[in-house]
Amino acid sequence: MSESTYTVTGMTCEHCALSVTEEITEIDGVAEVAVDLPTGTVTVSSEGPVDEAQVRAAVETAGYRLAG
């Protein structure tokens, strides 16, 4: 199992978190997505490493951006 944490800008509510979670969950191999709204972090657990570009694209599809 692999785990990566990202910082997402612009999330302010549970709806934001749900949108980001739904998009990232669609990436092949992703097992779980945990969003921490107060810190803006998103932790992605997956079967193997997930390409950051895929995570970035999913976050942008949800209407937000990865920091950095």
pLDDT digits (tens, 9 = 90+) for 2-39: 999 999 999 999 999 999 999 999 999 999 999 999 99
CATH code for the domain of 29: 3.30.70.100
Instruction: Report yes or no: 19 and 47 within 8 Å, Cβ to Cβ.
Output: no
Provide the 3-class DSSP secondary structure of residue 8.
Answer: strand
Q: What is the pLDDT of residue 60?
A: 98
pLDDT bin (cut points 50, 70, 90) of residue 44 is very high
Q: What is the pLDDT of residue 68?
A: 76
Taking the C-alpha atoms of residue 68 and residue 48, their distance in angstroms, rounded to an integer, is: 22
Taking the C-alpha atoms of residue 39 and residue 61, their distance in angstroms, rounded to an integer, is: 21
Taking the C-alpha atoms of residue 56 and residue 59, their distance in angstroms, rounded to an integer, is: 5
Query: Domain range holding 59?
Result: 2-66
For residue 63, pLDDT beyond 90: yes
Number of domains in the chain: 1
pLDDT digits (tens, 9 = 90+) for 49-61: 999 999 999 999 9
